[in-house]
A = this chain, B = another copy of it.
Amino acid sequence: LELGGSLITNKSKPFTERPETIKRLCQEIHQARQEQKNLELIVGHGGGSYPHVPAREFRTAEGVVDNQSVKGIAEVQDAAARLNRIIVRTLINAGEDAVSIQPSACCFAKNGRIQEFYTDSLERFLNLGMLPVVFGDVALDTKKGCCILSTEVISAYLAEKLGGQKIILCGTTDGVLDKKGEVVLKITPANYAQVKKHLGASDGIDVTGGMLHKVEEVLELAKSGVVSVIINGNKPGLLRRVLLGERVPGTEVSADGRGEKVKLYG
């Protein structure tokens, strides 16, 4: 499950989280896990207006580019971890046994892609029934010096490594929107080239590429059978329902296998 940065923070205002939204989402997660005890879940969250501020200032996504870049790594890691504390604390308050897994301490990258991610601790937390929480973070990079790992890159990596079946992306829109603001109901490897031309842009600061990036990360996984759904986290109850396996309004990203032509617009 991924909680988008623009959902849990105000992206147009530096270091501003949305406490009420975070609280409600954490409660929905807890409700779903109370109703379905065997729901094995990893939560990931974006950084929004926390790490994106220093990341943009220090051009962290580009790598170690000048003598301020290393300071930038420290600033981005701190900002990402600060937001993570808020999310984990709110999950614990909601009744979840939530634990942080700090990506920058557990992995490194090569040209922006995860090269190695230590997941032994994470898997042991899962086995205890706990709720591991990863997040968009800085990482050291063997090619560029450093990079930004979006929650999507981390989710995709973990889904593949740990055999996840489903990725839920909670954002601030009713799914993937086209330029007219309408929801694209289904995206598949077969229709993506066509869909891409119609996709809209994301609002506010975003150093990790917005909706296009999200879709492309999960589209890769669709090829190996992982189904992703992109839903509106601002609509109360939707997250709980989708966690319980219900079909809810949003965009599904999956493999059609047969090059099936789906209706693009909702």
Contacts and interface: CB of A to CB of B under 8 A. Distances in A.
Contacts of A85: 78, 81-82, 85
Contacts of A96: 74
Nearest to A122: B105
Nearest to A105: B101
A100 B77 contact: yes
Interface stretch (A124-132, A191-199, A247-255): A124-132
Nearest to A92: B74
A185 interface: no
A97 B71 contact: yes
A211 B168 CA distance: 48
A205 to B, nearest CB: 21
Nearest to A128: B70
Q: Which of A85, A97, A108 gathers the greatest number of chain B CB atoms within 10 Å? A: A97
Contacts of A77: 99-100
Contacts of A32: none
A140 interface: yes
Given A106-B121, A108-B121, A73 B99 contact: yes
B73 A97 contact: yes
A118 interface: yes
Given A85-B82, A102-B100, A107 B130 contact: no
Contacts of A122: 105
Contacts of A116: 120
A137 to B, nearest CB: 10
A105 B106 contact: yes
Contact of A129 (B70, B108, B125, B128): B70
Contacts of A101: 102, 105
Given A64-B128, A71-B97, A74-B130, 7 more contacts: A73-B99, A74-B98, A77-B99, A81-B85, A101-B105, A106-B121, A108-B121
12 contacts: A70-B97, A70-B129, A73-B97, A74-B92, A74-B97, A78-B89, A81-B88, A104-B121, A105-B106, A106-B106, A108-B120, A108-B124
